[in-house]
Chain A
Amino acid sequence: MELEDLLKKQFGFTSFKTGQKEVISALLNKQHTLAMLPTGTGKSLCYQLPGYIFEGQIVIVSPLLSLMQDQVEQMKQYGEKRVVALNSFLSQEERGNVLAFLDRYKFIFISPEMLMSPYIIQKLKNISISLFVVDEAHCISQWGYDFRPDYSKLGEVRKTLGNPLTLALTATATSKVREDIIRSLGLNGVKKIESTIDRPNIGFFVEQIADYRQKEDRVLELVAQLQKPGIIYFSSKKAAEQMADLLSEQQICRASVYHGGLDQDTRILIQQQFIYGQLDVICATSAFGMGVNKENIRFVIHFHMPMQLESYLQEIGRAGRDGEPSIAILLYSPGDELLPLQLAEGELPSESQIDWLFNLLENEGESVNGGRKLSETWRELGGFSEVQWRIVEEFVTRLGQQNKNLCSIRNEIKEFAKRRGQAKKESIFKMKSWIDINTCRRKFILHYFDDPFTSEINQCCDRCGLQLEPYHSFKKSPQKETIDISWKEYLQKLLINGVLNK
């Protein structure tokens, strides 16, 4: 069967999106593949489709639990039942059941920490893995913006599993990071498919605003003018909440807030309301967007600057998946870079925190050899955040197993924190210089990712003369639902199909 026929049969699409066919062909030729495809171009299809050709199982390593759940659900929604997610959401019992009959599944999603369990590795060795997929592969690299220590061990895992055919997927990685991915996974003869990260239908617009208050006013104004739906990103939950309240109170549009602090039920409802068009605007932190498949998002506004160009690109990439003109607006006020700098600092253990912990360990004559667990009390006493603590724990466990002494572990953590801190700062300054440049913003980004793509784009960026008017809404912005239906009518609408009844 031709690939296109399979695509039609399994997924109902008539043609491939950029890069998909190349990736799939390379995999069918049994070539390890590194694919950098822009966000929203259906990366998951690259391993799903081969799943219908290859005999054995497809194992997909995915770093974000929520994303994993979304992917599994979407596959189920489209009729693929042989899919499972192995992660900490499963109860002991459920996990036992899944592992006992692992070969019944075709697509096995797994979190990196699950792969650290020798028991699970043993189970995986017993099935025949026809494709090993590393999603969000940039997490492997220390130079990547989202480095995860457990990802750096995936090369070893891959080796233990007998070097299966491998697909590394990422949306945004500089060439340095891409090299890191290949080296870390130990891939030979890699086929690299690097489609352009450019999204020509998304225009860039940066606006300098004097201060916070005026920024708020400007957002209200923009949202009233622009075509909706849209997303506004914030670095703080509180700011997101305030803006959602303002937008609703002033009846500018139907808006709601979304962040990790909300309970799961609320998050699901808000996300679905947005997808089904019951909300015009979401005021969100970066927790929002993964797994949100909505084609017609017309604008993405950044109220705060993101910590790096990579995540900026991911976030604006949620706009315009239908190919229609869309706009990415970033609002900058002097001093805005301080917030990300602060956030970055909070993600790494400080020199004094490390010293405090290791002095304590030394004084108490504690040995960490053999990979001993650190006490939770120390985390609290030392004021370590969760992210900070994860890093410390990872080092202590790994180096402790190698029987290194406390002194050298201390130095290695310090060295690591320093290096990562530096890398994060550089990313922030890179982001800042993108805000400051006087030349084409699109070219700057393409150059940053060593993307050779060049074409003339009409609505490129503010530096190339882009104006916001074309993105304005023709309609008067949709007011709140004025027709209030009664609860009885609502129930009727849900449960009784008017068309069938007549």
Chain B
Amino acid sequence: MVQLTSIILYCLKQLSKERTVYSIYHLLNGKKSSQTIQDAHLFSLKKFFGVLSPLSRDSYDSMIRTLQEQGYIINHGEQRFLLTSSGESFLNKHPILNELNGWEYHQITWPFWERLSLLIQVASNIVHQEKCYIPIQKNKDVHQWVKTVLKEMKVPKYDLGRMIYQELIACFEHNKTLDPSVLVFRLTGFQQIGLTPMQTAQKLSMNHFDYQLQFINIIHYMIRKIAEKPEQFPILSLLQQELRQQHELTQSSRKTWQLLIQGYSLEAIARLRKLRESTIEDHLVEIALYVNHFSIDPYVEQKLQEEILAVSRRIASRQLKLIKDQVNKASYFQIRLVLAKYGGS
């Protein structure tokens, strides 16, 4: 579990006992709650958002127990953990996977894979002139996408396989540290069915969780690479068509945001939506995280903003309580807004 250990250690280090160990669990699971999303930004852990979803509480608990037994972390009470020196040196020896980009890609990771695997299955069967086969992906949208792509493609059908092959090889060749096996053996084609995640992990003698992380890592690498130079990947770049991430507020926050642009005040929105003001405050913090042109000035005076940031930097903490002790006149809501807006960078 080298990869996963590194990631958990890295996260714990970033949190430095300001959050419980379960905030990492929610992060890896990609929980869409204001708290988790804010933590991801505040502690610069965005890239791990949702990279291990779904992860069960039980397996997470047992991982943490193992890390403790191995002496990499120590319990600091109240479900908070700190790295030991051997934890530190483990982390130094085993750098974390460098292509993970959970926050940017978590929503398009799976659709990208579904499209890629179906496209390759279809191309493979075309190349081998086989019309009778069961599509390996069941998602109707993905079927529709492949149909459209095939229709619009200006490539002769028999050449499709060769072109995809060359693009994939070119894509993988740019990064020699990645092992394309984690992805390739899962592909299905003409009279050849791909392996399941479990089978691939076994074949490559990997721990199941590490395997999953490596798989996501290589998908995220592909997404980045293809988006950077779409002209080099005329076919593969179709995989991202209309899949680009639209920065996603939680549904409820989006409603609040819409009312906000229409000029409603925080209190009015709470009344209108029959929600507590504190809930609307949560939404505002979330909006401050994503919506660049959202100004927090109406809620926190400029001078107070600067003060909060200065304190946060000075005491090197993002723990609300500690900041509040120093800037008494600021409310928790105001501190959260400021940290959300400027604290992540």
Question: Does B316 have its Cβ within 8 Å of any Cβ on chain A?
Answer: no
Q: How far is the CA of A388 from the CA of B229 in the complex (A)?
A: 57
Question: Does B343 have its Cβ within 8 Å of any Cβ on chain A?
Answer: no
Question: Does B299 have its Cβ within 8 Å of any Cβ on chain A?
Answer: no
A77-B132, A500-B127 known; A495-B140 Cβ under 8 A: no
Cβ of B161 to closest chain A Cβ, rounded Å = 4
Centre residue among B120, B123, B140, B192 by max chain A CB count within 10 A: B192
- Interchain CB contact under 8 A, A491 and B165: yes
Cβ of B221 to closest chain A Cβ, rounded Å = 15
A272-B188, A487-B180 known; A495-B161 Cβ under 8 A: yes
The residue that A269 contacts in the complex, of B120, B124, B193, with Cβ under 8 A, is B193
- Interchain CB contact under 8 A, A496 and B191: no
- Interchain CB contact under 8 A, B198 and A276: no
Q: How far is the CA of A210 from the CA of B19 in the complex (A)?
A: 55
Chain A 169-191 interface residues, beta-carbon cutoff 8 Å to B: none
The residue that A491 contacts in the complex, of B135, B184, B190, with Cβ under 8 A, is B184
In the complex, per-residue mask of A483-501: 1 if CB is within 8 Å of any chain B CB, else 0: 0001110111111110010
In the complex, per-residue mask of B56-70: 1 if CB is within 8 Å of any chain A CB, else 0: 000000000000000
Q: How far is the CA of A272 from the CA of B194 in the complex (A)?
A: 9
Q: How far is the CA of A73 from the CA of B168 in the complex (A)?
A: 30
A265-B196, A495-B162, A496-B161 known; A73-B187 Cβ under 8 A: no
Cβ of A150 to closest chain B Cβ, rounded Å = 25
Q: How far is the CA of A36 from the CA of B184 in the complex (A)?
A: 46
Q: How far is the CA of A280 from the CA of B9 in the complex (A)?
A: 42
Chain B 161-215 interface residues, beta-carbon cutoff 8 Å to A: 161-162, 164-165, 168-169, 179-181, 184-185, 187-199
Centre residue among A69, A256, A265 by max chain B CB count within 10 A: A265
In the complex, per-residue mask of A260-282: 1 if CB is within 8 Å of any chain B CB, else 0: 00001110111011001010000
Q: Which residues of B contact A264 (CB under 8 A)?
A: 138
Question: Does A474 have its Cβ within 8 Å of any Cβ on chain B?
Answer: no
Q: Which residues of A contact B198 (CB under 8 A)?
A: 266
Q: Which residues of A contact B271 (CB under 8 A)?
A: none
**Closest A residue to B161 using CB positions:** A495
Q: How far is the CA of A302 from the CA of B228 in the complex (A)?
A: 55
Question: Does A101 have its Cβ within 8 Å of any Cβ on chain B?
Answer: no
Question: Does A436 have its Cβ within 8 Å of any Cβ on chain B?
Answer: no
Question: Does B134 have its Cβ within 8 Å of any Cβ on chain A?
Answer: yes
- Interchain CB contact under 8 A, B185 and A495: no
In the complex, per-residue mask of A220-253: 1 if CB is within 8 Å of any chain B CB, else 0: 0000000000000000000000000000000000
- Interchain CB contact under 8 A, B136 and A487: no
Question: Does B244 have its Cβ within 8 Å of any Cβ on chain A?
Answer: no
- Interchain CB contact under 8 A, A77 and B134: yes
- Interchain CB contact under 8 A, A490 and B199: no
Cβ of B325 to closest chain A Cβ, rounded Å = 43
9 smallest CB-CB distances across A and B, nearest first, come from A494-B189, A495-B161, A487-B184, A495-B165, A272-B193, A487-B181, A494-B124, A273-B193, A266-B196
Query: Beyond the given A487-B181, A496-B165, could you list 13 further A-B residue pairs with CB under 8 A, ordered by the A residue number?
Result: A266-B196, A268-B136, A269-B193, A276-B191, A490-B185, A494-B161, A494-B190, A495-B120, A495-B164, A495-B189, A497-B127, A497-B128, A497-B161
CB within 8 Å of A: which residues of B? 120, 123-124, 127-128, 132-136, 138, 140, 158, 161-162, 164-165, 168-169, 179-181, 184-185, 187-199
A-B contact pairs, 20 of them (CB 8 A): A69-B138, A73-B134, A77-B133, A78-B132, A264-B138, A266-B198, A268-B134, A272-B136, A272-B188, A272-B193, A276-B191, A487-B184, A490-B184, A490-B187, A492-B165, A493-B192, A494-B124, A494-B161, A495-B189, A497-B128
